[in-house]
Structure 1
Amino acid sequence: MCDTLVALPQRTRSGNLILGKNSDREPLEAQAIVHFPRKLTSQKEVQCTYISIPQAKETFEVILSKPFQMWGAEMGVNEFGLVIGNEAVFTNVKFDKKAVGLTGMDLLRLALERCKTANEALKTLVTLLNEYGQNACGGYQNQDFYYHNSFLIADPDQAYILETAGKSWAYRQVESLGSISNGLTIGEDYQEVHWEKEPRTIQKLFAGKHLNFREYFSDLLYTTAGRSKSRQACTLDFLSKREKLSVSDFFQGLRQHNHPEGEFDPKKATTGSICMHATGFTNPSDTTGSMVAEIRKDRATTVWLSGTSYPCLSLYLPVYFGTSIDSPVLSPGGNPDESLWWQAKKVHQIILKNYSKLQPDYRKRLDEIQQKWLEKDRELIEKSASNEELSRFSDSCLHQYLQFLREIQG
């Protein structure tokens, strides 16, 4: 389960596009923050998660948040201000598990490495989809977790929603605010659509008319169980109620639990939460990473990344292009280690045992730190700080976060 939301420049206080995303994955699937500089390569092929495909002659600089063991990424930004988040969507198109293809995360990273604009990324994604398909396991320990993908694709000026089912796809442009979750949303309101003759499951018996992409391809069982409609309504309502949106608003929006019964209890969490807390078989996912990117045209873009699970218990670190973020503590492994992700996990487990008592004070302390970071980021951007200054600030935030977590652990 995941959620991605965007506000175009006319709806933000700064006049910059802002995109946010929560990555909901298996609870122990640590998420890494990685940086790859622009590169000219003589390699003929690139090894993605399961298959190799022809490599581009040049790949662009990218900042990504990704499951530690995957090649692809859940979310990321490139040096041109292209930003993409992807979602699992559940459809009635059958998977051919013998014809292995690209994961949605592979598609996202490939588009960021090869494209400069949202329009170009849109075209690249559908081209790759058509050529290689998306018959790929998206799970970690759950090797039976297969899904199709939707994408929210944006650059400094525009945003698109692309939804897929097998090799079929539809897209529409975002007018001012946009949000996607784990269900198809484009009905007959697409700007362009491609219908492939797809092998379909028994769920096709419940499908609507062919011209409606959502009704024709949705798997009602998994889509309903994932409560994607409720979560999308929650994030859109949150954005719509604010005349002008800020990065702080996006932080807050991604921390929502969308819990109608008052005080939130993680032990009783459901798939309706934006900040996801796993509780078992019917609600198996945690939010394992989160991102908010403010895309600036004429000044440095700030990519705010949690590098930790649970936005309600996390800070967002500022990361910039042209600087180095290749710290070992941002590259967790599959077992508890000294990384930021696993150190935060230890603290989170302490708080989750008595959430109602401990979380408010802990959140207050986090907010005080986060506000100072936001103010410093604003100051550095306004004075057009050098890459060296931005790098020092980013490093200092990381060290402060780690020290804070160590103090909590005692």
Structure 2
Amino acid sequence: MCDTLVSLTDDGVLFAKNSDRDPNEAQVLTWHAAADHPSGTSTACTWIAIPEASHTHATVLSRPWWMWGAEMGANEHGVVIGNEAVFTTQPHGDPALLGMDLVRLGLERGRTAADAVEVMVTLLERHGQGGSCSQAKPGFTYHNSFLVADPQGAIVLETAGSLWATERVEGPGRSISNGLTIEGFADAHANRLRGRVAACSLRRARTQAAAEVAVGPLDLFAALRDHGAEPSPTYSVVNGALDAPCAHAGGRVTATQTTGSWVADLRGEQIHWATGTSAPCTSIFKPLRVDQPTARPGDEAAGATADPASGWWRHEDLHRLVLRDHAASHARFAAEQHRIEARWVTAPPATAEAFDEAEAAEARWRADLQAADLPDRRPRWLRSMWTGWDQRAGRASTRSAAA
């Protein structure tokens, strides 16, 4: 489950997305250079191969470790795309393109938002969408909606099987979540029951309000960290903390965790801000530039089991400590977290420098929480679920001896 939003400000376009996935599904940042391709070659997407384009644009992507496609990303021409799982009355087809594949294909082949949408709908009609959307739950699949933006504006693209509809964003803001929203198309194809379980209307109400008033990246950082009526997550046994944009896993019907977050500032220099880690509330947004690749050692090998070489998994040591008592734990480092980001937004550092500073800060926060050993205040059923995810990831439990 996810949320994507765009703000059309007086100064230009801002974009943001949380990617909500399985709790142990590491998400990696990858850079891909522009390239020319010989006629007749193909590209292997997640489940199928399709003909390659003669030229692909440079991109930076945030993608689940096991997928070819991406949850969100940007290209060298200032196009950004995010996708949402949507639940429709149309049947699910055989393995084909995933929505995440369409995100990457739109970025690789589109010079503008309109170009990218044309690429995506053409490929959708030609190849269809289908196949498992989860490495942890192979039977889980869905259709997709997309928010596609460039420095001139944004377009919503919603799909149901091979059917689709578009809407140009008129402003001042627009958000999408896990339900169809385009008038007429939604009435005809939305699965309302599954949308209610996903709490998409509750989250979209909050992201829509945030999109309409945002004027800079810091506003969108805050929007993606929103826990709803309370400053820290509140949990339902049905769907965890899924009623607000900053999702935390825990539901018995659906258990989804924000595993990556992205903000794009398409004004002027066009700087992207990504966590490269789960839970934006416990992460630091780092500046990215499409033309300045920054490989992080170990991240290319990140997977579904804990690996100290992976920055995503190193952050999980902090994230899962914070979850024991989110309010008390986050209060110990929130001021420094916000000071770092405010300084960087004013004068963005090089990406490698930012990652190094963020890693050092998170290491301090983790050591402080380990020393504090705060009691685990979560309900027993929620602690049990996280213990199970820890065990499946091959990592030590985050439950405290003082619980």
Partner of 2:271: 302
Describe how 1:322-361 pairs up with structure 2 within 5 A. 322-331=291-300, 332-337=302-307, 338-361=309-332
Out of 212-221 and 170-179, give the one that drifted further.
212-221
Say whether the 8 Å CA contact 2:9–2:215 is kept in structure 1.
Answer: no
Matched, 1:284 2:255: yes
Matched, 1:77 2:74: yes
Cα deviation 1:179-211 (Å, max 9, x = unaligned) = 000000011xxxxxxxxxxxxxxxxxxxxxxxx
Structure 1 position 7, deviation (Å)? 0.9
Matched, 1:29 2:25: yes
Letter in 2 for 1:68: W
In structure 1, C-alpha distance between the alignment counterparts of 2:231 and 2:55, rounded to whole Å: 51
In structure 1, C-alpha distance between the alignment counterparts of 2:354 and 2:199, rounded to whole Å: 35
Cα deviation 1:207-266 (Å, max 9, x = unaligned) = xxxxx21111111211111111111111112233x3x6111000000101123xx45345
Say whether the 8 Å CA contact 1:228–1:272 is kept in structure 2.
Answer: yes
Say whether the 8 Å CA contact 2:206–2:244 is kept in structure 1.
Answer: no
Say whether the 8 Å CA contact 1:300–1:321 is kept in structure 2.
Answer: no
Letter in 1 for 2:131: A
Percent identity of the aligned residues?
A: 36
Say whether the 8 Å CA contact 1:307–1:330 is kept in structure 2.
Answer: no
Cα deviation 1:307-336 (Å, max 9, x = unaligned) = 011111111110112212122244323321
Q: 1:263 to 1:179 in 2, by over 3 A?
A: closer
Say whether the 8 Å CA contact 1:343–1:405 is kept in structure 2.
Answer: no
Say whether the 8 Å CA contact 1:225–1:271 is kept in structure 2.
Answer: no
* Selected match of 1:163 from 148, 153, 158: 158
Q: 1:340 to 1:271 in 2, by over 3 A?
A: same
In structure 2, C-alpha distance between the alignment counterparts of 1:224 and 1:152, rounded to whole Å: 21
Letter in 2 for 1:231: R
Partner of 2:112: 117
Partner of 1:175: 170
Matched, 1:219 2:218: no
Partner of 1:5: 5
Give the secondary-structure state (helix, strand or coil) at the position aligned to 2:47: coil
Give the secondary-structure state (helix, strand or coil) at the position aligned to 2:347: helix
In structure 2, C-alpha distance between the alignment counterparts of 1:218 and 1:341, rounded to whole Å: 34
Letter in 2 for 1:122: V
Cα deviation 1:352-376 (Å, max 9, x = unaligned) = 1121211122222211111121122
Say whether the 8 Å CA contact 2:69–2:103 is kept in structure 1.
Answer: yes
Letter in 2 for 1:46: T
* Selected match of 1:363 from 334, 344, 363: 334
* Selected match of 2:182 from 183, 186, 192: 186
* TM, length-normalised to structure 1: 0.85
Unaligned runs of 5+ in 1: 188-211, 378-389
In structure 2, C-alpha distance between the alignment counterparts of 1:93 and 1:186, rounded to whole Å: 16
* Selected match of 1:258 from 223, 228, 241: 228
In structure 2, C-alpha distance between the alignment counterparts of 1:233 and 1:181, rounded to whole Å: 9
Out of 61-70 and 133-142, give the one that drifted further.
133-142
Say whether the 8 Å CA contact 2:333–2:365 is kept in structure 1.
Answer: no
Q: 1:61 to 1:263 in 2, by over 3 A?
A: closer
In structure 2, C-alpha distance between the alignment counterparts of 1:239 and 1:301, rounded to whole Å: 18
Say whether the 8 Å CA contact 2:225–2:280 is kept in structure 1.
Answer: yes
In structure 2, C-alpha distance between the alignment counterparts of 1:228 and 1:266, rounded to whole Å: 16
Q: CA RMSD in A?
A: 1.5
Say whether the 8 Å CA contact 1:307–1:341 is kept in structure 2.
Answer: yes
Structure 1 position 394, deviation (Å)? 1.2
* TM, length-normalised to structure 2: 0.86
Say whether the 8 Å CA contact 2:175–2:211 is kept in structure 1.
Answer: no
Letter in 2 for 1:319: L
Structure 1 position 279, deviation (Å)? 0.6
Give the secondary-structure state (helix, strand or coil) at the position aligned to 2:165: strand
* Selected match of 2:205 from 233, 255, 259: 233
In structure 2, C-alpha distance between the alignment counterparts of 1:263 and 1:257, rounded to whole Å: 6
Partner of 2:51: 54
Letter in 2 for 1:275: C
Letter in 1 for 2:260: G
In structure 2, C-alpha distance between the alignment counterparts of 1:258 and 1:134, rounded to whole Å: 33
Matched, 1:312 2:281: yes
In structure 1, C-alpha distance between the alignment counterparts of 2:166 and 2:324, rounded to whole Å: 43
Out of 352-361 and 85-94, give the one that drifted further.
352-361
Unaligned runs of 5+ in 2: 368-403
Q: 1:263 to 1:105 in 2, by over 3 A?
A: closer
Say whether the 8 Å CA contact 1:270–1:283 is kept in structure 2.
Answer: no
Partner of 1:206: none
